[in-house]
Amino acid sequence: MPVGVFGTDPPRPASAVSQGASAAEPPNPDALALYRAAKTAADQSRFADARLSVEAAIQRSPLWAPAHYLHGLILQEEGDLEQALAALRRCVYADARFVLGHFALAGLYAVIRQPERSRVHRENAARLLREHTADDLIPEGDGLTGGQLLRSLQV
pLDDT digits over 25-51, tens only?
A: 567 889 999 999 999 999 999 999 999
pLDDT at 15: 36
Q: What percentage of the chain has pLDDT greater than the value 70?
A: 83
Assess contact for 64 and 57: CB atoms under 8 A.
Answer: yes
pLDDT at 141: 87
- Higher model confidence: residue 124 or residue 141? 124
Q: What is the CATH number of domain 21-153?
A: 1.25.40.10
pLDDT at 78: 96
Q: What whole-number distance in Å separates Cα of residue 135 and Cα of residue 144?
A: 9
- Residues in CB range of 14: below 8 A, 6 or more apart: 20, 22, 23, 139
Give residue-wise pLDDT tens across range 128-144.
Answer: 999 988 898 888 888 88
**Phi and psi torsions of 130, nearest 5°:** -70, -15
Residue 116 has pLDDT above 80, yes or no: yes
Q: Kindly tell me the burial class for residue 15, based on how many C-beta atoms sit within 10 Å of its own C-beta (0-12, 13-18, 19 or more).
A: exposed
pLDDT at 25: 59
